[in-house]
A and B are shown apart, each in its own frame.
Chain A
Amino acid sequence: MSDDAAGRAGSDDTVGRAGSGDAVGRAHPRLEGPEKVTGTARYAVEYPVDGVTYGWAVPSAVVRGRITRVDTAAALASPGVLAVLHHGNAPRLAPGPERELWLLQEPAVHYRGQYVAVVVATSLEAAREGARLVRIDYDAGPHSTVLTDDHPGLYKPDHVNPSYPADTAEGDFDAGYAAAPVRVDTTYRTPAYHNNPMEPHATTAHWHDGRLLVHDSTQGTSSVRATLAELFELPPESIRVVAEHVGGGFGSKGYAKAPVVLAALAARHVDRPVRLALTRQQLFGPIGYRTPTIQRVRLAADTDGRLTAICHDAISQTSTIREFAEQTAVYTRSMYAAPHRRTTHRLVRLDVPTPFWMRAPGECPGAYALESAVDELAIAAGIDPVELRVRNDTAVDPDQGRPFTSRNLVGCLREGARRFGWADRNPSPRSRRDGRWLIGTGVAGSSYPARARPSSATATARPDGGFLVRINATDIGTGARTAIWQVAADALGVPPERVEIRIGDSDLPTAPVAGGSMGTASWSWAVVRACQSLREKLRDSPGEVTAEADTTDEVGNQPARPRYAYGAQFVEVRVDVDTGEVRLNRMLGVFAAGRVVNPTTARSQLIGGMTMGLSMALHEEGLLDERYGDWVNHDLATYHITGCADVESVEAYWLDEQDDELNPAGVKGLGEIGIVGTAAAVANAVHHATGVRVRDLPIRLDKLIGVSSLA
Chain B
Amino acid sequence: MRAFRYHRPADVADAVALLGAEPQAAYLGGGTNLVDLMKLGVQRPDVLVDLTRLPLDTVEELPDGGLRIGATVRNSDLAAHPAVRRDYPVLARALLAAASGQLRNMATTGGNLLQRTRCVYFQDTGKACNKREPGSGCAARHGQNRDLAVLDWSEQCVATHPSDLAVALTALDAVVQVHETDGPRDIPITALYRSPGTHPERETTMARGTLITAVRLPPLPAARRSTYLKVRDRASFAFAAGSVAAVLDLDGDLVRDVRLAYGAVAHRPWRAYRAEQELRGHPFSPALAARAADAELAEARPLRHNGFKLPLTRAITVRALTELAAS
Residues of A within 8 A of B (CB): 61, 79, 125, 128-129, 132, 281, 436, 578-581, 583, 618-619, 623, 625, 627-628, 630, 632-635, 637-638, 640, 642-646, 700-702, 705-706
Contacts and interface: CB of A to CB of B under 8 A. Distances in A.
B237 A625 contact: no
Given A628-B126, A701-B241, A701-B312, A578 B319 contact: yes
Contacts of B146: 623, 702
A61 B127 CA distance: 9
23 contacts: A132-B41, A578-B319, A580-B312, A625-B143, A627-B143, A628-B127, A628-B139, A630-B126, A630-B127, A632-B121, A635-B123, A637-B118, A637-B238, A638-B147, A640-B238, A643-B234, A645-B235, A700-B233, A701-B231, A701-B233, A701-B241, A702-B241, A702-B308
A701 B308 contact: yes
A644 B236 CA distance: 8
A622 to B, nearest CB: 10
A638 B237 CA distance: 11
Contacts of B236: 643-646
Most buried by B among A125, A628, A630, A702: A702
B234 A638 contact: no
B238 A581 contact: no
A705 B233 contact: no
Q: Is the interface of A mostly helix, strand, loop or mixed?
A: loop
A625 B144 contact: yes
Main secondary structure of the interface of B (DSSP, over half): loop
Contacts of B319: 436, 578
B144 A632 contact: yes
A522 to B, nearest CB: 36
A623 B118 CA distance: 15
Contacts of B41: 132
Contact of A129 (B3, B238, B239): B3
A706 B3 contact: no
Nearest to A128: B1
Interface residues on B, range: 35 or more
Contacts of B237: 643, 645
Given A579-B312, A701-B241, A632 B2 contact: no
B65 interface: no
A574 to B, nearest CB: 12
A129 B39 CA distance: 9
A623 to B, nearest CB: 5
A632 B308 contact: no
Nearest to A635: B123
Contacts of A132: 41
B234 A646 contact: yes
B283 interface: no
Nearest to A79: B3
B32 to A, nearest CB: 11
A611 B142 CA distance: 34
B186 interface: no
Contacts of B139: 625, 627-628
Contacts of B311: 705-706
B127 A632 contact: yes
Contacts of A627: 139, 143
B120 interface: yes
B315 interface: yes
A646 to B, nearest CB: 5
A705 B309 CA distance: 10
Contacts of A633: 120, 144
Nearest to B140: A632
B1 A579 contact: no
A-B pairs with the 7 shortest C-beta distances?
Answer: A702-B308, A645-B235, A578-B315, A645-B236, A125-B1, A632-B120, A623-B144
B316 interface: yes
Contacts of A706: 311, 315
A61 B239 contact: no
B323 to A, nearest CB: 11
Contacts of A632: 120-121, 124, 127, 143-144
Nearest to B162: A637
Contacts of A580: 308, 312
B2 A129 contact: yes
Nearest to B121: A632
Nearest to A113: B126
B234 A618 contact: yes
Contacts of A643: 234-237
A129 B40 CA distance: 10
Interface in B36-74: 39-41
Interface string B126-146: 110000000000010001101
A640 B234 contact: yes
Given A625-B144, A633-B120, A637-B118, A61 B126 contact: yes
A702 B264 CA distance: 14
Given A625-B144, A628-B127, A705-B312, A581 B118 contact: no
A642 B41 CA distance: 28
Given A132-B41, A701-B308, A579 B316 contact: yes
